[in-house]
Amino acid sequence: MIAEYTAPVTAVDRRTFVSAAVAALAASGRAGRPAAAAVPEATGRTWRVDGARLARRLKDLSRFGANAQGGVSRVAFSPADVEGRAFVMEMMRGAGLEVRVDPVGNIFGRRTGLLPAAAPILFGSHIDSVPEGGNYDGDVGSMSAIEVAQVLGEKGYRNRNPLEVAIWCDEESGLTGSRGFVGDLTTEDLARPSRNGAPLAENIRRLGGDPERLAEARHAKGAVAAYLELHIEQGGTLDAAGIPIGVVEGIVGIHHYEVTVRGFANHAGTTPMDKRRNALLAASEIVLAVDRIVRSVPGRQVGTVGRLVVRPGAPNVIPGEASFTIELRDLKAETIESLWSRIEPEARAIVERQGCTMEYVLSPPDRPALTDARMRDLIAGVADDLGLRHLSLPSGAGHDAQELARIAPMGMIFIPSVGGISHSPKEYSRPEDIANGANVLLQAVLRLDQKALEAGS
């Protein structure tokens, strides 16, 4: 659905016009010679963001939902979120962008291009936070995207493709806005209550969205030329290595299992040791097995038992039931499946030996989302040209970019999180690292606009 990207011509039907425009873009890119309408290819190579102004944007935004610990609680749909969004929309207008809110509550700021019917290049992030979160998760990418738009405006840049800053709605509790944008949000989802108890549809209305028009928020493959997101790493790899830029390989897939082991709850004083069916004992062995199996193969896969509930949970009763979670993450779904194919039979053997039974449920898995190889090359090339060292790494956390990857070539730029701390008021990224990331974003956007991805759009 690309209803809002209206072609300026009525003589040809829009689809014909769009495909012609896209073909022209691709052709000019291949020939290495700009089309008549385009700016010269190397325009803006020396342009840089204003680091001090970017730091000020972040500081100004941090007022909305500021908490005593020095962080922010700007949970989606809260008054702080509503006020923060209004502030950000003003900031976007100040950067020369045409601002609109889509039916699922995403904010877009558009710079119409010389080819207004061409698929837009999107870049941005989110400004909602977890409860008692920090001032960098989402905010760095959002404020940098606006700063990039401001620089393009000040330099009088004549973009070819439409450029759009995207501020996705409700990233933290389920990627609501980006899922709506790619068509992965259903009317049933809209009826379900959000964390604040109100149905999602009502919450979206509070942000100026129009959930009745859900279908109009959806975008098919090809409707977006490319998506770029700058984000803090949220882990400690870049900080520990002293490397300023991360080129994200992809966002890991997640398999989440709810496991229940049943034994027999009996008197802890009168039941001899050889007559017990202790569910916790079996669960404990499984916890150790998960850790051992996940470590046993090379790679960056992770496996965690993060919750364990024992019933009846009394000091003088042998645990009759233990329910726990097993979470496996990796960039490759096959790795996750192969780990589970070893964990599952071993868990069964443990349970049997302990005289217990086991059942488990796998929640709908989050599939891994790989970044586009051309986008990775673009980001690495830009970092090289800026003299910034870079490292390829996976994202262990989820991002809106994983949804965008379903419909467009997607790339992500990471900057260091000091100490690898995130989702905490202690989350911190250095101003120089933020400015470096924003400069990579600026240059990557310019190059995308001047040279369409081979076989892209």
Give the shortest CB-394-to-Zn ion separation in angstroms.
15
Q: Please name the helix (run of DSSP H) or strand (run of DSSP E) that holds residue 187, with its range, or none.
A: helix 187-191
Q: How far is the CB of 302 from Zn ion (least distance, A)?
A: 19
Distances (CA, A) of 250 to 183, 289, 403, 405, 423: 21, 27, 12, 10, 20
Whichever of 230 and 247 has its CB closer to Zn ion, that residue is 230
Q: What is the largest CA-CA distance in the chain?
A: 90
Q: Could you give the CA distance from residue 105 to residue 209 in angstroms, rounded to a whole number?
A: 4
Backbone angles phi, psi at 38, to 5 degrees: -90, 160
The rounded Cα 454 to chain-centroid distance in angstroms is 25
User: Of the two residues 252 and 280, which places its CB atom closer to Zn ion in the complex?
Assistant: 252
Question: Do the Cβ atoms of 320 and 311 come closer than 8 Å?
Answer: yes
Minimum gap (Å) between residue 229 Cβ and Zn ion? 9
Residue 412 Cβ vs Zn ion, minimum distance, rounded to whole Å: 11
Shortest distance in whole angstroms from residue 33 CB to Zn ion? 39
Smallest gap from residue 171 Cβ to Zn ion (A): 6
Task: Quote the strand ranges of 192-244, DSSP E.
Answer: 226-232
Q: In Å, how far from its chain's centre is CA 6?
A: 28
Could you tell me the smallest distance in angstroms from the CB atom of residue 423 to Zn ion?
9
Nearer to Zn ion, 138 or 244 (CB): 138
Q: What is the DSSP letter of 420?
A: G
Instruction: Please give the single-letter amino acid code of residue 77.
Output: F
> 3-class DSSP state for residue 136?
coil
Burial class (CB in 10 A: 0-12, 13-18, 19+), 315: exposed
Among candidates 336, 325, 326, which has minimal Cα distance to 299?
336
Choice between 148 and 453, CB closer to Zn ion? 148
* Closest separation in Å from C-beta 126 to Zn ion: 6
Q: What is the nearest approach in angstroms of Zn ion to the Cβ of residue 138?
A: 4
Q: Given the complex with Zn ion, which of 138 and 416 has the nearer CB atom?
A: 138
Q: How would you label 148-164 residue by residue, b for 16+ Cβ within 10 Å and e otherwise?
A: bbbbbeeeebebbbbbb
Q: φ and ψ at 64, to 5 degrees? A: -85, 105
Q: Which is nearer to Zn ion, 24 or 140 (CB)?
A: 140
Q: Which is nearer to Zn ion, 126 or 276 (CB)?
A: 126
Q: Which residue has the tokens 């929309």?
A: 89
* Residue nearer to Zn ion on the CB measure, 138 or 183: 138
Q: How far is the CB of 72 from Zn ion (least distance, A)?
A: 13
Residue with smaller CB distance to Zn ion, 137 or 170: 137
CB 402 within 8 A of CB 369: yes
Residue nearest to Zn ion (CB): 138
Q: Which is nearer to Zn ion, 109 or 138 (CB)?
A: 138
Q: Using CB under 5 A, list all residues that contact Zn ion.
A: 137-138
H/E run at residue 124 = strand 121-126
Cα 358 versus chain centre, distance:
34
CA distance 102 to 267: 60
